[in-house]
A and B are shown apart, each in its own frame.
Chain A
């Protein structure tokens, strides 16, 4: 799985971007998007094209974590969203390494592992996070990731010198997001 994570201001200014790959299931944490030469633009394009849907979801669902809100079939990309109460948007694009095979539904794995013991859940989620962007395990892993980024975002925003809409340049923040990606995704 390859990930592109971005934070947008309430007025859609990009405040932070990062690309990374899965660290689950033996992943090396490096992003391998399908169209490497254009990935940066492509990812931003896909994310921005999901903003209309996001704005609609924003006013029907009061949760901060909105789970996956959009898909972009041409790139087999999924978008998950998290809204901070102060209006910043966290968007995560995930793209599986190969097109999901049409025969594999993956639903059996998802539901059975939910009922499993803690140990087996972890195992199952590790593999399905990498494989299936819409499984409950993935939604949960993304939620954990978003929460951890949110904590660090609040720390950034609490500083009196940080003004809403300012790019987040702190290398420490970047390290924290990278670590959260490694831990949960």
Chain B
């Protein structure tokens, strides 16, 4: 089969479009689904597309940690050339993590609906589809457990709520030894930089995706034992805190 014309000038009617008005006797002719579509991308003759690849195919696949470190390091170096300071750089890394959070969220839920051993629950017996998180604490557990396991092969090390009465909207997720800091050598003049800003962006994406407006930042909190210990500060917006009260009152879990 010849390759379809790819530089078609056809107007986009791929979104359903309006029903084609032909010589219609009014019963029929609502064949929006039969309208010609944009020809789309070329595909190999085996027709291998993203839609033909099983979403679980790489579920347990592993790759060299060094490869990740090299790629991530280049990502940071590249970002660094396009910004003016550490804050800018962290913002940029955060923004690059954000869409990943949205993707991982969908992937996590897909995997727990499609298999009997849920990626979201620790018990493998439940086969009922997981629920979207409605409350802050459920959301944070999702991040601390399943999300961390998908990304880093283990849960995060701690999950805490701010004890200050002034900041009830603040939560902390701690990683004692973040992968993104392990192999990354930060230039001296950037010693305050925490590359985990990328992970903070991922967390922000997950929260936002679930409908929890949030700001997440990564902070170096080294201890003697864990020199690259990082605390992710999760600050929920006012609208979230308001809703949380309403849901609490109506008993939503």
Does B78 lie at the interface of the complex (its beta carbon under 8 Å from any beta carbon of A)? no
Chain A residues within 8 Å of B211, by CB: 10, 58-59, 87
CB-CB contacts below 8 Å: A146-172 with B:
147, 150-159, 163-164, 167, 169-172
Asked if A36 and B40 make an inter-chain contact with CB atoms under 8 angstroms apart, the answer reads no
Known A86-B105, A154-B106, A169-B40; contact A60-B31, beta-carbon cutoff 8 A: no
The answer to whether A30 and B28 have CB atoms under 8 Å apart is: yes
Instruction: Give complex CA distance A174, B51 in Å.
Output: 11
Cβ of A37 under 8 Å from chain B: yes
Using CB atoms and an 8 Å cutoff, list the residues of chain A in contact with chain B.
2, 6, 10, 14, 16-20, 29-33, 36-37, 39-40, 58-60, 62-65, 83-87, 147, 150-159, 163-164, 167, 169-174, 176, 178
Question: Is the Cβ of B129 less than 8 Å from the Cβ of A172?
Answer: no
A155–B194 Cα distance when bound, in Å, is 31
- Report if A155-B51 is in contact (Cβ < 8 Å); known contacts: A19-B30, A170-B40, A171-B39: yes
Residue in B closest to A60 when the chains form the complex, CB atoms: B252
Q: Which stretch (B108-116, B167-175, B185-193) binds chain A?
A: B108-116
* In the complex, per-residue mask of B20-39: 1 if CB is within 8 Å of any chain A CB, else 0: 00001011111111000111
- Point out the residues of chain A lying under 8 angstroms from B102, CB to CB: 86, 157, 164
Compute how far the CA of A67 lies from the CA of B131 in the bound complex, rounded to whole angstroms. Answer: 14
* CB 8 Å contact bits of B108-130 with A (1 = contact, 0 = none): 11100110000000000000010
**Is B73 close to A, CB under 8 A?**
no
Give chain B's interface residue range (CB within 8 Å of chain A). Answer: 35 or more
Most chain B CB within 10 A, of A36, A86, A167, is at: A86
Residues of A within 8 A of B29 (CB): 36
Contacts of B19 in A (CB 8 A): 19, 36, 39-40
| Residues of B in contact with A (beta carbons under 8 Å apart) | 12, 14-16, 18-19, 24, 26-33, 37-41, 43, 49-51, 53, 55, 99, 102-103, 105-110, 113-114, 129, 131-134, 208-211, 243, 247, 250, 252
In the assembled complex, the Cα of A12 lies from the Cα of B225 at a distance in Å of: 49
A163 to B18, CA, bound (A): 26
In the complex, what residues of A have CB within 8 A of residue B50's CB? 155-156, 158-159
CB closest residue in chain B, given A159: B50
Q: Which of A63, A155, A176 contacts B55 (CB 8 A)?
A: A155
